[in-house]
Structure 1
C-alpha cells in the first residue's frame, strides 16, 4: 500500500539536533554521526554517518509509543546516500530494521531481535554513489534476523508475519514491532561516508513514523517577520540620516 493511500497518514516529523522528537543517534567504535547540511535531501539536512573502519556502527533509532503486532506491518521506507569516497565494499549501503519483541512483554528484553533490511539482498548490484536512493520495505522484502540465537538466513518479512519463517525463530505475527532503526556499520571493512533521511513505518493502514532529519525546523508557511518598535525606530533613523547625506552631497546644496 503506498504511503499516500494510508488512511491516517502522519505529517513528517522534523528531527533536528535541538528537537529529536523521540529519535536517538548513537555511534560506537571509530564512527561519528550528526544531523548536518553535508548531504541535504528533502530540506537542508540529513543524518550524516562516518565509519572510519570496521569497528564502527551508527544507529538512528525510534521507539514506538505503542507497540504494534508484526502481522499488521504495511510498509517502511528510508533514503540513503553513499559517498563515492567510501572504501568499504561497494555493495554496502545504510540499512533499515524493525525492532521486534517476540512476546510483546516489555519486562522481558532477552527475546528482542531485529529484522534487518539491506539493499544488497534485494538486488546484487553495487550501491549507487553521490545520489539519494529511496528504499521501500514491503512484506515481500527479504530480511535477516539479528538476535534471538538463530542461524543466519534471509527470508521475506511476510514469512515472519505468517509464523512460517524457518530456522527456529520465535518471531511470528503476534510478535510486536517496538521500534525502527536506520543504521550502518558493524563489521564493514574500510571507510564509509554517507547519510540517511526520511525514515517511515506503517502498520494496519496507519503511518506511525515519518521522520525528516533537518538542521533546523523550517519557518511556518505564511509567517512574516514583524519589526519591533525598536527596529522601526532604527530603520527610520537610518532613512533620515541617509536622506540628510544625499541632501548634503547634492550639487549646489548650501552648506
Structure 2
C-alpha cells in the first residue's frame, strides 16, 4: 500500500529567513528547508491519513524517491547535514488509539556509507506520538541500535520490529520516564513503559519516521515498508513508491513552493501512489 503526501509547509520563524524548497523529477520529490538552526525554525505541513513533512529544518532534506530502491520501487529519503538538522515524515491518525492496543509495528531502514559520517549506530527511527489523558505526553522511539546494542549493516536494508512485549523503546520526555535511552528503565518494551506509569492513559495520535536533531554528523539514508497495527484501530503497511506523477499533477509539482520570513504561499498537497 502506498499512501504519501508531500504538501505545503508552514512553521514559526526565529532570528532570520527560512526557505522551504520542494523539487520533483523522474526520481521522486524532495523538500529541503534551509535557514537558522533550532526547533523554532523547523517547518511542517499538515495532513491526516497521509504522510507529510514534519519538523524539517537546519538544511535537512526529506522526500520520497527511488534513490534507495527497496524491491521494485522507492523509499522515504532523509538527509541531514549538521547537529541542528532534522527531517521527519508524519502520519496522523483520524482518532487516537490506546497504546495498549498496539499489536505490531515495524520498518526497514538503510544507511548510506558513502555520504553518512560519524557514529555508525545512527539511522532513522520510528516513533509513536503519545497523549496522556488528552494532553501531549511525548514520543516512544523504536531504534535499530537498542534492539541488540549493535550497529545496523551499511548499504543494505535492516529490519526493525516490535510488539507489546518485544522490541525496545526509549523516550525524549521525562513525563513518560527515564529519557534518552538511559539506564534505570530508559530502554523498555511497550508493556514495561505502560506498567511503569499505571495511572497514565496513553493514546497514540500518530507515527513519525525521521532523522536528525542532535546528530553530530551528516547522514543520508532511507526508510521503507512501515507497518503498524492496533487491535480495533488502524492497521496499515506503507511501501513508499517514487517516480514521475500523472501529467495532470506535473505543473503543481515542478513549481514547488517556498517561504521567506512569514510570507507563506500555499499550494495544494501532492499525492503519490
TM-score using structure 1 length? 0.69
- Whether 1:55 aligns to 2:84 is yes
- 2:245 & 2:217 partners in 1: Cα distance? 36
Q: Partner residue of 1:97? A: 127
Q: 2:231 aligned to 204, 207, 213, which one? A: 204
Equivalent position of 1:77 in the other structure: 106
**Structure 1 residue 157 corresponds to structure 2 residue 187:** no
Instruction: Give the Å deviation of 1:208.
Output: 2.1
Partner of 1:146: 172
What is the CA–CA distance in structure 1 between the aligned matches of 2:244 and 2:158, rounded to whole Å?
23
CA, structure 1 residues 218+207, in 2 after alignment: closer, same or farther (shift >3 Å)?
farther
Larger radius of gyration: 1
SS in 2 for 1:63: strand
Aligned CA distance change for structure 1 residues 218 and 29 (closer, same or farther; 3 Å): closer
Gaps of 5+ in 2: 8-28, 30-46, 180-185, 247-273
- Does residue 22 of the first structure (1) align with residue 50 of the second (2)? yes
Aligned mates of 1:71, 1:217 — CA distance in 2? 40
Q: Partner of 1:71: helix, strand, or coil?
A: helix
More helix by share: 1
More strand by share: 2
Q: Does the C-alpha gap of structure 1 residues 216 and 40 become closer, same or farther in structure 2, counting only changes over 3 Å?
A: same
Secondary structure of the residue aligned to 1:180 is: strand
Gaps of 5+ in 1: 1-11, 220-255
CA–CA distance in structure 2, aligned partners of residues 43 and 176 of structure 1: 35
Partners of 2:156 and 2:228 in 1: how far apart? 23
Q: Distance in 2 between the 1:180 and 1:171 partners?
A: 23
Q: CA-to-partner distance for each residue in 1:151-187, whole Å, 9 max, x for gaps?
A: 32222111133xx22xxx5884x31111011111111
1:57-109 per-residue CA deviation (whole Å, 9 max, x = no partner) reads 11111011122111111110111110012103001111111111111x2xx4x
2:93 to 37, 61, 64: 64
TM-score (norm 2): 0.65
